[in-house]
Structure 1
Amino acid sequence: MLSLNCDRDEGKFPLGPLQIIPTFCRFASYLETFRHDGVNMGICLLWRYVSMLASAFTLMRAKADFVHQFIRNPRKMGSITPSSDALCRTMVDSVAWSGQLRVAELGAGDGVLTRRLLAQMAPDATLDVFEISSALAQKLSALNDERMTVRTCSAEYLNGSYDAIFSGLPLLSLSPELRDAILQAVYHALGPNGVFVQFQYTSLTQPDLSRYFTWERQRVLKNVPPAWVYRCTRHYAP
């Protein structure tokens, strides 16, 4: 900090002209440095703000697309909001991710859970995604992962043998005939030690699950609305 003092007793200025000039030059240099750093800081803050706005806009657009699909066909979508991180994490943690697994996802929607599954899967694992909405199926295909196959058809056409099957289908919104057909398909497609993970917003479908599976459930409050995650295994042939 620059300090200029006068000697009151003698009435003299302690710095001569040749001394004052370099001092003010240094002071001007400090001001220029401060101005330059301030501009850089302002640019950084502005860029960070713009990036945050862009991320928020992308998220809002994705949710708007999901809401649009819900309005077009609420019975197929089941919920007006995508699954939360907490719900996806609870579902993924219901499976032991070891070895070359064959995985299926029923009613993938906008791919929130799909991305989690792909991130958890081994390089030699496979994922068959069933999504009846052609618009959402197209977005899922854009994930461009060679381990994934997107099938634009109903989950009742599920066949083969899977180690894990994940479902976000709104079972209660389906007709009893279609609901039973899908659960039968899941039962027959599930391997001997396979796991079927289904989330629901209500427990009213528990009798349907009990016809085919032994299950345990976990409540997820950090979701809109709160949901139940059912971890199901085969117990007997219906």
Structure 2
Amino acid sequence: MSRMLGQWGVFFRGFVEHPRMVGSIIPSSGFTIRKMLEPVKWDECRLFVEYGPGVGTFCAPVLERLRRDGRLIVIDTNELYIDYLNRTIDDSRFLAVLGSAADVELIVQDAGFDHADYVLSGLPFSTLPNGVGPEIAAATHRVLRPGGAFLVYQFSAAARDFMAKHFAHIEQGFELWNVPPCRLFWGWKDDAA
């Protein structure tokens, strides 16, 4: 089925095989992508990290905006998605890692960076195994540079609850033109952190 339907088939297969780890049955809309990426200062972004990239819905828009010496690291626990991304994205700035977002600090360090400028997540925080959501939020805060941001799109407010323990400044939004409509959060790491 994934061969016949291409990207949609791969995404749907990933959802069927791991429904608790995939946030939606279809990829995010262009409206969600634009709104989520709007606050990013691309000229200052050397490392952009994404958790749960799925079939790469955000990858092309990020790579289009990312500076020439920048890097995009995507992290997913689903080998199906990592294999698909490695086959379909041919950009020297792109790195797909099979692993857990909770290990972001080690992944970033292994890629030769001290910190990330922005981290994007569409992971379904409300259905992650116990303890994983708080662990990811804490690791994300530690890996971000001061002034960087954790960008999260969700269908529930669970992610915001985990983010609030680490990010004092969280902006919120909502995107109606997505299936289903989703909540948007931008958690900014304090410059003094």
TM-score by length of 1: 0.71
- Residue segments in structure 1 that go unaligned for 5+ positions in a row: 1-57
Q: 1:69: which partner in 2?
A: 14
Question: 1:205: how far off?
Answer: 3.4
Q: Deviations over 1:64-116 (max 9, x none)?
A: 22111101110111211111111111111121111452111111101010111
Q: Is 2:158 the partner of 1:158?
A: no
SS at match of 1:76: coil
Q: 1:230: which partner in 2?
A: 185
Q: 1:8: which partner in 2?
A: none
Q: 2:111: which partner in 1?
A: none
SS at match of 1:75: coil
Higher strand share: 2
Q: Deviations over 1:158-210 (max 9, x none)?
A: 01401111111111111231111111110100001111101111123322211
Question: 1:155: how far off?
Answer: 0.4
Q: Is 2:123 the partner of 1:169?
A: yes
Higher helix share: 1
Distance, in Å, in 1 between the alignment partners of 2:166 and 2:134 is: 10
Distance, in Å, in 2 between the alignment partners of 1:177 and 1:147 is: 32
Task: Pick the aligned partner of 2:79 from 125, 128, 134.
Answer: 134
Q: 1:114: which partner in 2?
A: 59
Distance, in Å, in 2 between the alignment partners of 1:116 and 1:59 is: 25
Taking only aligned residues, the RMSD between alpha carbons, in angstroms, comes to: 1.8
Q: Quick one: higher RCO (CA 8 Å, sep 6+), 1 or 2? A: 2
Q: 1:210: which partner in 2?
A: 164
Q: 1:118 to 1:216 in 2, by over 3 A?
A: same
Asked if the contact 2:26/2:179 (under 8 Å) is kept, the reply is: yes
Please show how residues 173-188 of structure 1 align to structure 2 within 5 Å: 173-188=127-142
AA aligned to 1:198 is V
Give the percent of matched residue pairs that are identical in Structure 1 and Structure 2: 27
AA aligned to 1:156 is A
